[in-house]
């Protein structure tokens, strides 16, 4: 009886791991795409992507470009963090799935042993 309770608890824990993994992957992917969209509209990101240089005509234009570059760096950093969150989600999903599969295999093995004992006894 005690082994059954532990198995049920572990099974719930693994299922929770799978659900959290799916949620993290979904959130990470959604946020990554949202940040990519914001980066495509960022002036400093466009200049950085083209690899070009800009001839600045005024101090206000230079300050605007500097603010845009600060925002670009923040967006790139957040994008990197979303890749990490998505990776953690994939790891949780994989571990939960693997653990659940192992438990299911053990349960089948135990049931076949019980069935074999019942048939022979």
Please state the pTM of the whole predicted model: 0.79
Determine, yes or no, domain membership for 1.
Answer: no
Residue 2 inside a domain? The answer is: no
Residue 40 lies in a domain: yes
Say how many domains are in the chain: 1
Residue 4 pLDDT level (bands cut at 50, 70, 90) = low
Q: What's the chain's length in residues?
A: 121
Share of the chain above pLDDT 90, in %: 52
Cα 55 from Cα 22, distance rounded (Å): 47
- pLDDT tens sequence across 76-109: 999 999 999 999 999 999 999 999 999 888 888 8
Domain for residue 4, yes or no?
no
Does a structural domain hold residue 53? yes
How far is 32 from 91, CA to CA, in rounded Å?
18
> What's the domain range around 79?
9-120
> Are the C-beta atoms of residues 69 and 90 closer than 8 Å to each other?
no
pLDDT at position 3 is 59
pLDDT, position 53:
77
Q: What is the 3-state secondary structure (H, E, C) of 70-119?
A: HHHHHHHHHHHHHHHHHHHHHHHHHHHHHHHHHHHHHHHHHHHHHHHHHH
Is 109 part of any domain?
Answer: yes
Q: Is 56 within a domain?
A: yes
For 20-38, write each residue's pLDDT tens digit.
Answer: 999 999 999 999 999 999 9
In a domain, residue 115? The reply is yes
């Amino acid at each position: 009886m005690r082994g059954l309770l532990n198995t049920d608890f572990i099974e719930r824990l693994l299922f929770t791991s799978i659900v959290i993994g799916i949620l993290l992957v979904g959130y990470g992917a959604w946020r990554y795409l949202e940040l990519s969209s914001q980066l495509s509209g960022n002036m400093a990101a466009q200049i950085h992507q083209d690899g070009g240089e800009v001839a600045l005509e005024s101090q206000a234009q230079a300050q605007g470009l500097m603010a845009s570059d600060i925002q670009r760096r923040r967006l790139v950093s957040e994008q990197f963090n979303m890749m990490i969150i998505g990776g953690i989600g994939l790891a949780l999903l994989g571990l939960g799935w693997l653990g659940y599969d192992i438990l299911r295999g053990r349960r089948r093995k135990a049931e076949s042993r019980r069935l074999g004992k019942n048939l022979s006894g």
